[in-house]
Amino acid sequence: MASDIEKLLESLPKSPSFMVMHFTKDATLIKELKEFCQDAQEYRVLTYEAREKESLEDYASGNMAVQLINPKRAKYNHPSKFYDYLFVTALPQNRDEFLQKVYYALKNGAPIFIFLQKEQKELAYALESELIDRNYVAINLIDIDNFLVVSAKKMHGWSGS
């Protein structure tokens, strides 16, 4: 029987050349997302520290790349790449800056899924407000498997963020 996470991933549409960005510190959701991204043009896993990158490099193959985040970059994307999906299983300390930087990496209308531990309800509610302030829309809380997921979409085009 499929887990709720697998059901969520199965419900997401896949364009012929879709791209996925995943911020993490460990292998949380790597197996599920790697399966989801079999037909993706790119599955880009970003980590915050060199030791985290080393522990994840064993998973890299084919369209999956593991990279270290450069926190000094103004945006988290390459100039010509925009991602269809963003998964976050580890948030950085500066959430506001993070939400702004990933905003520019997403296609218009692209969903973001932030996976939190179930006991982090206060953080989930704080993230709702922070996402609104950063021009994300359609914000929802989803209780799924062992996680509380905050989902949202990048607002279409006309935001000045």
Quick check: 30 and 59 in contact, CB under 8 A? yes
Residue 126: partners with Cβ closer than 8 Å, 6 or more residues away: none
In Å, how far are 4, 27, 54, 106, 125 from 147, measured between CA atoms? Answer: 10, 15, 25, 23, 14
- pLDDT tens-digit readout, 70-116: 888 888 777 788 999 999 999 998 999 999 999 989 999 999 999 99
The pTM score is 0.93
* CATH number for position 149: 3.40.50.150
Question: Residue 137 domain-assigned?
Answer: yes
Question: Residue 45 domain-assigned?
Answer: yes
Question: Residue 115 domain-assigned?
Answer: yes
Mean pLDDT score of the chain:
91
DSSP code per residue over 23-82: E-SSSTTHHHHHHHGGG-SEEEEEESSHHHHHHHGGG--TTEEEEE--TTSSSSS-TT--
Residue 117: partners with Cβ closer than 8 Å, 6 or more residues away: 146, 147, 148
- pLDDT tens-digit readout, 52-78: 999 999 999 899 999 999 888 888 777
Domain range for 50 is 17-154
Could you give the number of structural domains in the chain?
Answer: 1
